[in-house]
Amino acid sequence: MEGLTTFKSKTLRSYPEVAPYWDFIESFIIKSECNRIEIHDLKIGVAVSFFDCIIFTEKTFTQHLPKFLFTVFHEFAHQYQFKKYGKDKMLELYTDKINSVEGAKIMKSIEIVADEFATRKIRELQKKGYLKSIMLPQGIYKQMSLETFTQTIEHLKSQVKDLGLKTSEEISNEFYKWLKN
């Protein structure tokens, strides 16, 4: 996986206490079948998952350790979702194949599942004897209104339509370029 070595060294420099359970994290990352990990600035957020890569910002590595782990597990959970459902199914939310409200419900569900998955992975580490004294980070998506997701879907659908994007690759590439600039 491209970028894994850099991600590992940056993680261990920022969080040396992760070393005893790095193999657990790395195994989870590798099994996700993500193609590459990148580290650079984004217009919004600290991390984002695309069907073929995950981008982490430098800010990701300055978060409190539990939040960092939650972010990592959340983003790699999306890779498992891409693997399970396929990139076309995941990205059709931004096309006319699904109405905005249904797309918003699906998007919210996707994010809640990734949050819950991240929580479960941290609990697994706790069961192994690590991170015993931390408070589990809570995901933000369960509390977000469906209207917020609907607005996001409508905005992204509008961009897809305005740019004439048809395939999941075109949609992903355009979102990738926009977030990186």
Pairing assessment for the beta strands 36-39 and 47-49 based on DSSP bridges? unpaired
- CA distances in angstroms from 141 to 13, 113, 115, 168, listed in the order given: 30, 9, 8, 24
pLDDT tens, 95-144?
888 999 999 999 999 999 999 999 999 999 999 999 988 888 889 999 99
pLDDT of amino acid 181? 65
Whole-model pTM: value is: 0.94
- Nearest Cα to Cα of residue 50 among 11, 92, 98, 91: 91
* Residue 110, phi then psi, degrees to nearest 5: -60, -45
pLDDT tens, 53-87?
999 999 999 999 999 999 999 999 999 999 999 88
Domain boundaries, the chain: 4-180
CA torsion angle 82 18 121 145 (round to 10): -70
